[in-house]
Amino acid sequence: MAIEFPDHLIELERSAWAEIQRGELTVDTARAVHEGIAKFAAEAGFARLDVEMGLKRAVRHPDPELAA
């Protein structure tokens, strides 16, 4: 089952990933992503780890077939 992530959570992870790639990840960005993941997982009834891993996969390794 694929998790449908809200746009704001995707954008938070994209920002964090960009900062990581530049070597500039801030505590504030990391905290915002972590809190967003925890809140979404609790509200949607998913395990936090499943949300975190799925979100990272969606942002860092997107499926090219879905982007077409």
- Residue 58 CB neighbours (<10 A): 19
How would residue 8 be classed by pLDDT, with cut points 50, 70 and 90? very high
The pLDDT of residue 68 is above 90: no
| 5, containing H or E segment | none
Q: Residue 62 carries which DSSP code?
A: -
Mean pLDDT of the chain: 93
Q: Is the pTM of this model over 0.75?
A: yes
Q: Report pLDDT digits (tens) over 19-40.
A: 999 999 999 999 999 999 999 9
Q: What is the largest CA-CA distance in the chain?
A: 34
AA letter at 59: V
